[in-house]
Structure 1
Amino acid sequence: MESFFVRNNTFFQREEDTGMDLAWMIEFLKGMVKPVAATAVVGLAVGLSFWQKLGLESEMFVAIVRAFIQLSIIGFVLQFIFNQGNAGWIILAYLFMVSVAGYTAGQRAKHVPSGKYVAGASILTGTSVTMFLLVILNVFPFTPRYIIPVAGMLVGNSMTVTGVTMKRLRDDIKTQINLVETALALGATPRQASHQQLKRTLIIALSPVIDNTKTVGLISLPGAMTGLIMGGASPLEAIQLQIVVMNMMIGASTMSSIMATYLCWPSFFTKAYQLETKVFTD
């Protein structure tokens, strides 16, 4: 069976030698006509917000302007990286994404000591191992055009799961602090005393990813599959890629989530096997 990665379709196959010249800029501006026209939908949302007195008009306007600017910038950056074809740019882009994701997830779990570093290390571990396996198994070639989009999907999903894991673990232990302290008083280690909280946290954090995988294609068509179909690929090619995406999401999310629990739970306890009370003070 011919691989869907090497088919000649408009989504993946572009001219590698496209230059940042005037002709390319003109084509880019022409292509922005439809995105600009689509802001009419945002105008409708702003009008509804004003009508219902929600007070979200300015936030909607700022959000769409930021999205427009950020995506335009990243488009030029990716165009530059794709033209270079250098592995160093792949690693640099990947580390940048992990850094931003670690900071964002750490902000969600702001009460966890060194939360940003814990989140960053967890996301880095889960996504790098997953991408390494995908490259070794020749699922994706190690080129910017494939690795950077894949890394973006993995890092974004792992960021969400990691943030939820860290915050939920801390909140769960706080809610059952008497139970955990009783177990410690009876001679249990911190790991044993918080085992149920750790297990429950991982189940809650990973359940949305698993449920999404169970219902993929039945409720909605996922982004990667939709992008391929709209880009000209056949539905059969699209589902091949989507299966890969769902598999790698589960793998990266599980590793990142488990790593986060191992890295953050020791900060909840002292060396004397007592709860670190200041961690659980809002």
Structure 2
Amino acid sequence: MDLQWLLDFLQGMTKPFLATAIVVLAVLLSYFQKLGLEAEMIYAIFRAFLQLSVIGFVLQFIFSQQNLSWILLAYLFMVTVAGYTAGQRAKHVPRGKLVAGASILTGTSVTMVMLVVLRVFPLTPRYIIPVAGMMVGNSMTVTGVTMKRLRDDIRTQFSLVETALALGATPRQATHQQVKRALVVALSPVVDNAKTVGLISLPGAMTGLIMGGASPIEAIQLQIVVMNFLIGASTVSSIMSTYLCWPSFFTAAYQLETAVFTAA
């Protein structure tokens, strides 16, 4: 049995293992400061090593297949995990995981189709899977924050929303300000990041290309594309989540579903 691939892998992991010295420093600082985060830090870095190693082999296999069905399977897996994670953040939203998953799926798939139709990226696993991963990860964060903030804002201003409904406002009209605030809070980090990109930090995609030997001009061209599709996917996912939350927030008679907002 040829074990050359294993030897190559272990040799390539030398620098990542050496870099764990930084984590050791963080663990020691946590211990001396009595933060109690030592075990969590060690577990987190071990899990990161394991997950990234496994996904590296999986992607190596998928890229060698050049089969579009693997793109779909990988994409749906990412959306499922992201929906579950975002739903956990908004745990008091009924069917939160399903709402988050559907929102992320909508936002990222619409953006992905546009990128492929416009021929920004070819429809191959090597391009689509990494791009989808960036989109899904960003949309997951934004969607989770949107759902949680919307529910919390309506809960805080329960009487105000009820009064608006009693005066004949539709659920959309009665919660317009709460929806607006939730979307602004969730999307502001993405927009701020786009405004300061290259001035404060060099993003991952750009840094990776430069360290890989690409010219800075090529790197910034790709990074511009990345920032564009992150804003697009995040915005669509975030807005979609507010629409999908409404049915569980209101009764058929356009009244607030009290049980949703009584939990702390």
Q: TM-score range by the shorter chain?
A: over 0.9
Match of 2:98 in 1: 117
More helix by share: 2
Match of 2:79 in 1: 98
Q: Which residue of 1 aligns with 2:169?
A: 188
Q: Deviations over 1:166-195 (max 9, x none)?
A: 001101111111110111111111111111
1:154 alignment counterpart: 135
Is the counterpart of residue 85 in structure 1 residue 66 in structure 2? yes
Q: 1:36 aligns with which of 6, 11, 17?
A: 17
Show the counterpart of 1:57: 38
Gaps spanning 5+ residues in structure 2: where? none
Q: State the 1:199 CA deviation.
A: 1.5
Work out the CA distance in 1 between the residues paired with 2:217 and 2:195. Answer: 19
Scaled by the length of structure 1, the TM-score of the pair is: 0.91
Q: Which range is displaced more, 52-61 or 111-120?
A: 52-61
Task: Map 1:1-282 to 2 at 5 A.
Answer: 21-282=2-263
Runs of 4+ that moved beyond 2 A:
20-25
Amino acid at match of 2:159: N
Which range is displaced more, 203-212 or 251-260? Answer: 203-212
| Structure 1 unmatched ranges of 5 or more | 1-19
With 56-65 and 151-160 compared, the bigger mean Cα shift is at 56-65
The residue type equivalent to 1:111 in the other structure is: H
Over the aligned positions, Cα root-mean-square deviation in angstroms equals: 1.1
Q: Distance in 2 between matches of 1:194 and 1:36?
A: 51
What is the TM-score when the length of structure 2 is the normalising length?
A: 0.97
Which SS does the other structure have where 1:38 is aligned?
helix
Paired-residue identity, % = 81
